Structure 1
Amino acid sequence: MPVYQYIAFNRKGKKVKGIITADGPVSARMRLSQESIYPLELKELSRVEKSKRRSWGISIFQRIDPQEITTALRQLSTLVSSGLPLIDCLNGLIEQIENQRLKTIFTQIREKVVEGNSLSQAISYHPHIFGEIYVNMIRAGENSGALDIILERLADFSERRMKLKRRIESSLAYPLFLIFISTVIVIFLMSFVMPKVISIFEGMKLALPLSTRILIFFTHFMRSYWPLVILGIILAISIPYIYIRTEKGRVLWDTLRLRIPLLGKLHQKASIARFTRTLSLLLQSGIPLVDALEISRHSAGNRIIERGIEEVIRQVGEGKDLATPLKNTGRFPPVVIQLIRAGEQSGELEKMLSKAADLYEDEVDTTVQYLTRVLEPGVILFMGVVVGFIVMAILLPIFDISGGIK
């Protein structure tokens, strides 16, 4: 159902803004007039967003911050726990949301609920925002009568994942900044300093050192073939990117990611942390183990691990325990297997999975900090060598000239 944005006068003559869903503009005006709201301007929201995207050429208006989704879930949980009807809870939530696109989505969800759908059915119409885990957990909360608790758990789950992602991003920000600044310095030296110095050396007909000849060759090459260099860089990035988006390419890329020294272990730990955290949350919500495994399988973020979990799902469905098939995949460390086996024996599987997730989230954080400490001096040392090579390639001929004058 279309969503319309309106500017109108209310019964007190005050100008108001808002959004409303209706079958068409005539229906929207009629609904507004029934509420004593008299529209001055009425636009379909999807067309407004399209015009914004055309004017800027990018989709920044389509972006929804995960933090806003987490906040919305937490607010909805609070409203539901107060005992208000779900429609009133959604109305209260919509009034508090500032992001226009998120407000539109929750307005459409409210209309689906008004039509007689459950909340889980309503959010399933927006898979790009609310994935399978949200739909299944909310359905479990509706069936158990604990929707407010489930929404709170979903908000905590989203917040944990977001914090882990931001810790990794913040740890890598400084090394990436160093690489960027160092690259700019080298480009500046090669573009503006070296051409002037090279013209001096070429005019003197000197026997130049090897380092200087290498630098002159590289500078001439960059000046003469820079379009090809740029094209080569673009192709070197775009071709692997396009290939990775295919199923074969994704499998190959995920295999390589698990085998890269240091980074492979980090990726594996992050995948295990996501999988165990998601599985724990689904089991706490009362979802059967086989269904929970099927949903949480996609959270691993690696095709190789996901294929191993597919076999685990088959064996668990046949009546086997969870720990043994996971061990047979060869992708889960012994400590995770031991925690899961202990959880199965004690009847507290979801708690043991949560402990495994806590353990590996901490290990991911520690590993990222270690790599950052190693990467920072490594980048500085490498760029120091590059800049030092350029400086020595310039100075050595100058020293030779000075010696010849003496």
Structure 2
Amino acid sequence: MIYPTARAVYLIAAAAPVALLIGVLLPGGWVIALAWVAVVLVLIIADALLTPPLRRGEFVVAAEGAVDVGDMVDLSPAYERSGQRIAAEFAADVSAPLEPAEPSGVGLRYVAVRRGRAVIRRLWARRRGPLGFAWRQVSREADLPIVVTPDLRPVREQGMRQYLRSNQQGLRMRLDSGDGSEFQALTDFQPGMERRSIDWKASARHFALLAREYRTERDNAIVFAVDSGRAMCDPVGGVPRVDRAVSAALLAAFVALKSGDRVRLYSFAARPQVDSGTQAGTRSFAELHRSAAEIDYLAEESNYTLSLVTLDRKLERRSLIVLFTEFTDPTSAELMMTAAARLLKRHRVLFVLFEDVELEAIRTARPEHGDDVVRANVAHTLLRERRIVIERLKRLGIDVIEARPDDLPLALVERYVGMKERA
């Protein structure tokens, strides 16, 4: 395709005021402006003919297929024909979650602002003619996906610091032997062991104090179910709850895979959304990471009944279901508890909730005006209703974790390790 450059457009546009001025000073002389336009049109056509056409070529994009949130994506497109690159200027139509970065003069740079799947829908290449009056342009449908995955670097660094700290204190994040529920062997009772581990019958037979030693069970089934509905899309600490939930779930999933357990990532809102299937072994963590990028932000109410019943039907064995969710009123919490109670018939359920730091700040802030007192009372009422729901969940036999947003990933890992050892 042939398009005029900005220079040609300005020259044609300049013909209108010139024609008006000539028409005022010299009636009948406005025809000169028409001749001016004709000359510019001829120059455009001549410049287009002097420019080699951009046909029978292919676009080449150097962007990676998967990036982390916050990373810079440089498409660096090129146009090649017969193995040779043709100098040209480029443009691209890229969908969210990629947004244009500051212009750098090299390539096409975008920033991954959130998780999701971006698509490079179309690419354009153009080159200017030697006279500067015309562009030769070509475009192609690209349909190239770029998966934006959660950024685990902050959580991974925090987890490594915690692991090193536990080693310095003589602690272990996971005990392969000495705890758990699977009997391993009898050993001599040592100071510091729990008295309940003593096997009195064996001790009587051997005339020595013996204790039972257990080992942590492996090959357990863990399901990380992430609610991606309207309530989970609200930010807490400046980051959407669903993003924090995904990061915490992936960190716990990696620990579970390293421990020999089977892991499944599942998300839902008004209906089931993403299901990674059961994964085993640390090599399958990449599949969980890619599945996490598909968890979308949905402005719709979560249907716990449909989503959790669907999950229950997919599970063939008893599992630990770790449910990341949020509730805003007692009515939605009632539906949530009813659906969770059904899961307790076959599975063990762990609810993961973020502390509402904003409501806590409003409740504890020193009031300056009368409106501050009203807001503090409303925040206190909402927090009280929240505590009531949490206590009801615990009475149903559901484990609950409620932690500050930045502390939740490690709190979840520690709770999982504790539940695994005391299974």
TM-score, normalising length: structure 1: 0.24
**As a proportion of its length, which structure holds more helix?**
1
**As a proportion of its length, which structure holds more strand?**
2
TM-score, normalising length: structure 2: 0.24
Larger radius of gyration: 2
